[in-house]
Amino acid sequence: MDADVTESAGTPADPDRSAADQDGHNDESQDRDESQGEGRSRGDGSSQDGPEGEGRSEEPLGSDVPAKRRHRWLRWAALATSLFVLVAAGGGWWLYRKLDSNIRTDTSAAAELRVYEKERPVSVVHDAENILLIGSDSRSGDNRKYGRSYGSSQRSDTTILLHLAADRKSATAMSIPRDLMTEIPSCHQADGKPTRKQFAQFNWAFQFGGTACTIRTVERMTGIRIDHHMVVDFNGFKDMVDAVHGVEICLKEPIDDSDAHLKLRAGRQKLDGEEALGYVRARKSIGNGSDTDRMERQQRFLGALVNKVQSNGVLLNPTRLYPVLDAATKSLTTDPGLDSLKDLYELVRGMRSVPTKKVQFLTVPRQPYVVDPNRDELVQPEADKLFKRLRDDDPVAVVPADELKRKKGENSDSADSTSPTPTPTYSGSNAATDLCEQ
């Protein structure tokens, strides 16, 4: 049996070597032979026929050099990724700081309102918000070309009370005519001197005492607590329209208005920022020439602008959102509660889920002032009923004026005292309305 084993090994047994050493030598030789045979059978190009250590281009079996190379590559990849993240974060922070610094804070209005805090109405519904949007008609700086100046003062060209429902399922924008006759309280002017309480047209409040006086006038008129305010100038509106690449409208007749710097053909067309500004400001050359007609045109255009922003995915596309935010923040002056990009983002995020058909625009019920038909006065009790609906966060509905007249006629013909009270309906539009289907 021992002879058979020695013969099969091919080498005489060494009497000085232990059996264990001999077995280990046999195992190592067998492993090397199998490894060499495997390399030749794979055809991997390794030189296995020469003496050990000659003609080999690869590292010996079991070497950790490839692992070191792999680890070195991973370290470089991790470093590159870290640098990219830092650059991106730094760029994002720079953009955030730039947008944030665009916003101007109106601290004087906040201080003035604190003086009159006891006479201001209280909020009725938690989480509902009322924001006063004021379009300034200042003719200073780049706005000089749009008309004559009122000296060092300015008046509110457009004022809108925006009510955001507590559940954020609807938003109602109520326009207040600038020529509406109303009670303006005593307010402090820029030099600190008080004005007298007087009955005058609404936009004088902004001239007398700035934003704070306008807010107090609206609160006295409506009984609605104003939570925040924004003042927007002409150029901000233009830049926002340009940032969304224009808004499409349709005109039944051409427009040629030198005062508004506007000349448009009839038919479907897209307005850029400059044309859009002229379109919403034009008065005598479009419609019946009234301020009410102009407000309705402003409402429809603002609705189309909101629809354009939502339908084009601007809010979800950073490259398209940034120009809109840049234009908006450059034009804004706000109260301290909305003077940061974070505050504005929270506001926009709350409105993002509001369907465009639930973003509604209407004008406070008004009629020609009995003393001067060139001025307006509230229609009562309809105006107070609307104010209460907004104050209590109750729903309202809007339809075009023609449809509203038809519905009123139908309701009067089929009045039923047992039917549930319907949601009050007013003349207006919503952001889903197509300007070319008017």
Average pLDDT over residues 325-349: 86
- pLDDT confidence of residue 275: 92
- pLDDT confidence of residue 71: 67
The percentage of residues in the chain with a pLDDT greater than 70, rounded to a whole number, is: 68
State pLDDT tens for residues 149-171.
Answer: 444 456 667 899 999 999 999 99
- pLDDT confidence of residue 6: 41
CA 142 – CA 233 distance, rounded (Å): 10
Average pLDDT over residues 230-255: 87
State pLDDT tens for residues 347-356.
Answer: 877 787 888 8
How many C-beta atoms lie closer than 10 Å to residue 23's C-beta? 10
State pLDDT tens for residues 377-417.
Answer: 999 999 999 999 999 999 999 988 888 878 776 665 555 54
How many C-beta atoms lie closer than 10 Å to residue 248's C-beta? 13
List the single range of 6-15, 157-166, 240-249 with lowest mean pLDDT: 6-15
List the single range of 238-247, 289-298, 324-333 with lowest mean pLDDT: 289-298
- pLDDT confidence of residue 385: 95
List the single range of 43-47, 70-74, 83-87, 429-433 with lowest mean pLDDT: 43-47
pTM (predicted TM-score): 0.73
Model confidence at 54, in pLDDT bands (50, 70, 90)? very low
Higher per-residue confidence, 101 vs 421: 101
- pLDDT confidence of residue 433: 80
CA atoms within 13 A on the CB side of 166: 11
Higher per-residue confidence, 114 vs 31: 114
